[in-house]
Amino acid sequence: MQMDHIPKLTMRIILAMVLAFGTAQISSAMDGPDAVELNALAELYGPVNFDHTMHTDIAGDCAVCHHHTTGTPPQDPRCAKCHAKSGPADEVACQSCHAAKRFEAEYLNKLAADNTIYHVDRLGLKAAYHQRCMGCHEESGAPNGCQDCHTRNDAGDKVFHAGQYAPPPSAHKAKEGH
C-alpha cells in the first residue's frame, strides 16, 4: 500500500483533527466532489455516504486511492507498464472500470464475446472498494467493521437471515451436550 510511509499515529491524529475541526474547502478544476454516495449494493444495503474531501485531505494524493486522476495518465506503476502512453483519463469513478455485478451472466458473456479485453481478471466493484478502503482503514486504525459503513436494509436482512428474519434460537442447542 502506498501509505505505509505515514505512521499510524500520524494518520490517527490527522483523522481526529479533520473530524473535530472539519475541512476547509480548497478547490480547483481538478478537485473531486466533496462527498460521493456509493450505492452499488442498494438492493441489500443503504448507501455509503463517502466524505471524499476528508479522505483526500488524509491521503494527500489522489493516486493513493485512484489508479489515475482525471486529466493524467495512470500513476499506478502496474498500470503504467502498458498504459504509460494511454493519455489522460476522462474520469476516475471506480465503476467506470470495475463492474458492479462482476459474476453475473451479462458481464461474463461480455468478457467471453470480446477477445480484445485484456483485463479479464479485473476486480469487481465490491472487491475494489474493499481492497482499497479496508486495507487503508486497517492500516490507519479507522473503523473497519461491515456495519461501520454499511447499513443493511430490510431486503439485506432477509437475504442474510438477520434482524426480524433471523431464525429463532434452537431448542436443540439448549440441551446439554449438544
Lowest mean pLDDT among 6-20, 44-58, 116-130: 6-20
99: region left, alpha or beta (phi > 0 left; psi from -120 to 50 alpha): beta
**pTM value?**
0.58
Phi and psi based region of residue 163 (left: phi greater than 0; alpha: psi -120 to 50; beta: remaining): left
Element spanning 48, H or E = strand 48-51
The chain-wide mean pLDDT, for the chain, equals: 74
CB atoms inside a 10 Å sphere around CB 47: 15
**Average pLDDT for 142-160:** 88
pLDDT of the residue at 13: 47
Closest by CA to 141, choosing from 3, 27, 43, is 3
pLDDT higher than 80, residue 148: yes
CA distance 65 to 47: 20
Q: Which helix (H) or strand (E) holds 12?
A: helix 8-21
Q: Is 25 left (phi over 0), alpha (psi -120 to 50) or beta?
A: beta
The ranges assigned to domains in the chain are: 8-60+93-151
The CATH number of domain 8-60+93-151 is 3.20.20: no
CA 40/CA 139 separation, integer angstroms: 25
pLDDT bucket at 20, cuts 50 / 70 / 90? very low
Higher pLDDT, 59 or 173: 59
